Chain A
Amino acid sequence: MSRYDGKNVVITGGSSGLGLAAAQYLVHNGARVLITGRHRDTLEIAGEQLGENAITVESDTSSPAAIDALARRIEAEFGTVHALVLNAGIGSFDAFEAVTEQTFDEVFAINTKGPFFTLQRLVPLLTEGSGVVLTTSIANQTGWDALSVYSASKAALRSMARTLSRELLPKGIRVNAISPGSIDTGKLDKEAPDKAARLKAEFTESSPMKRWGHASEFAPAVAFLAFDATYVAGIELVVDGGESQL
């Protein structure tokens, strides 16, 4: 018997990077996984990789209507949910003075408001003893160049790990956050192609482990918080090669 046999897991932003790595790990260990993503082609590739124990749903977490539709789909597919990984997020690499209101609103809509209302809609489906994992970022604790909006959106999410945990504990639902540092997901190349090479070299140099993390190193932390950390609530677990600690 595999470790997560019979477990239903929902992962937003599960079609690439950290979310996909978590989905692979959980499916490999017996879970049924429903992943969401915004791009159909990426989702299809992810679905093929994950096999028959994965369901892919095209869904934009910044749209309240899409969140409602997602909740109905999850109820139809799974009935109940044992682990919810709110991982969908977007980067933003503009210098403070160049940030437009549109960028600000988009980043907060995807990184902060989306997870808030996704969790709100899915609470009725979460079982007693279930675990919710929010993907934050070590940027929420540090002042880095050109990350003001992104870091603030993740700081707000980190705060929610505490308050939503407090409010949901009476239902037996634990909420925790995972805070990745420099993990190579391909996102940087996609979202900041002009700066990616320089940022990567800088992070490698400044990282205590002198390397980027691999997405597969994030996945066991998701599984630990979702299923094994039964006396842990409201925390943020850093997976950052020591960067925020040393």
Chain B
Amino acid sequence: MSGYQDKRVVITGGTSGIGLATARALVAGGARVLVTGRTPSSLEKARTTLGPGAIVEASDAVADIDTLVGRAEQELGAIDLLVLNAGGTAASTVDDTTEALYDNLFELNTKAPFFTLQKFLPLIPAGGSVVLTTSVSNTKGIATTGVYSATKAALRSMTRTFARELVERGIRVNAVSPGPIDTGILERTMPVEAAREFLEQIKATNPMRRFGEPEEVAKAILFLGFDATYTTGTELVVDGGASDL
């Protein structure tokens, strides 16, 4: 395991699932990590899981960006890796999609990462990097994901433009694109029976016939964040082969 001694990392949406797995790997490798989350129960769980090596900050991805940047500066000074992982999902057919759902999801998944990066930039030195969490759905037509997929497609696009604008400052920007990862998010956002059915169907059609683990995505985030020094603007899919095979 390569060490992350004294690396300073901020992970939005870092109190559960992929974000938490990434934080755990970093803390184990000696990094100083600040994670954000919204729900009190997952914030509490993250504090227990991560221990004193991490700062766990309640933060609404949209509303509290300035406060968050201030806290990160005070705690960490500069940031070597910013992981913009906070996001939400909502299953809704095009017929059923309200403007409110549309606006909420774009605000959370697209606009918040955009301005979070903008406001964090003064803290990221040359040699630093940014990883955005997109989704394999941004290149596919999957029923009921019209808004979600579009928010992630916009984020994938930003990966390229940010990378171009920041390359001269020595900051790399890449995306990790998870496929079906067992984070529990579906069970939390869909009716239990529907979620179970959907999960079984995904498993049956995935080339690896299984879900991915959050830890498997965390490794990709850390690779892009620290090892991929000649890679910028890319999207690395972690999906059991679903989008390529």
Q: Choose among A224, A240, A241 the residue that contacts B223 (Cβ–Cβ < 8 A).
A: A224
- When distances are taken between beta carbons in the complex, the residues of chain B under 8 Å from A174 are 241
Tell me the count of chain A residues lying within 8 A, CB to CB, of chain B.
35
Contact residues of A between 189 and 233, Cβ < 8 Å to B? 208-210, 213-214, 217-218, 220-221, 224, 228-233
The 10 closest A-B CB pairs, nearest first, are A245-B233, A234-B244, A233-B241, A231-B212, A213-B230, A220-B227, A242-B232, A217-B230, A231-B216, A246-B164
Is B238 a contact partner of A231 (Cβ separation < 8 A)? yes
Minimum CB distance partner of B159 in chain A: A245
CB distance from A24 to the nearest CB of B (A): 15
Say if the beta carbon of A166 comes within 8 Å of chain B. yes
Say if the beta carbon of A99 comes within 8 Å of chain B. no
Say if the beta carbon of B1 comes within 8 Å of chain A. yes
Q: Choose among A161, A214, A230, A240 the residue that contacts B231 (Cβ–Cβ < 8 A).
A: A240
Give the complex CA separation of A29 and B241 in angstroms. Answer: 27
Say if the beta carbon of B237 comes within 8 Å of chain A. yes
Say if the beta carbon of A183 comes within 8 Å of chain B. yes
Which residues of A line the B interface, CB within 8 A? 3, 161-162, 165-166, 169, 174, 181, 183, 208-210, 213-214, 217-218, 220-221, 224, 228-235, 237-242, 245-246
Scan B203-235; emit 1 where CB is below 8 A from any A CB, else 0: 000011000110011011001000111111110
Is A232 a contact partner of B2 (Cβ separation < 8 A)? no
Given contacts A209-B230, A214-B230, A217-B229, contact A233 B244 (CB under 8 A): yes
Which residues of B line the A interface, CB within 8 A? 1-2, 160, 163-164, 167-168, 172, 179, 181, 207-208, 212-213, 216-217, 219-220, 223, 227-234, 236-241, 244-245
Give the complex CA separation of A103 and B240 in angstroms. Answer: 37
CB distance from A216 to the nearest CB of B (A): 9
- When distances are taken between beta carbons in the complex, the residues of chain B under 8 Å from A237 are 231, 234, 236
Most buried by A among B207, B230, B237, B240: B230
Q: Choose among A232, A239, A245 the residue that contacts B228 (Cβ–Cβ < 8 A).
A: A239
Give the complex CA separation of A214 and B230 in angstroms. Answer: 8
Is B233 a contact partner of A232 (Cβ separation < 8 A)? no
Given contacts A229-B238, A231-B239, A242-B163, contact A221 B228 (CB under 8 A): yes
Give the complex CA separation of A181 and B167 in angstroms. Answer: 16
CB distance from A26 to the nearest CB of B (A): 13
Is B232 a contact partner of A209 (Cβ separation < 8 A)? yes
Chain A to chain B contacts (Cβ below 8 Å), 8 pairs: A169-B207, A169-B245, A208-B164, A218-B230, A233-B207, A233-B245, A241-B231, A242-B232
Give the complex CA separation of A181 and B160 in angstroms. Answer: 17
Minimum CB distance partner of A162 in chain B: B244
Give the complex CA separation of A217 and B229 in angstroms. Answer: 6
- When distances are taken between beta carbons in the complex, the residues of chain A under 8 Å from B231 are 221, 237-242
Is B2 a contact partner of A3 (Cβ separation < 8 A)? yes
CB distance from B174 to the nearest CB of A (A): 9
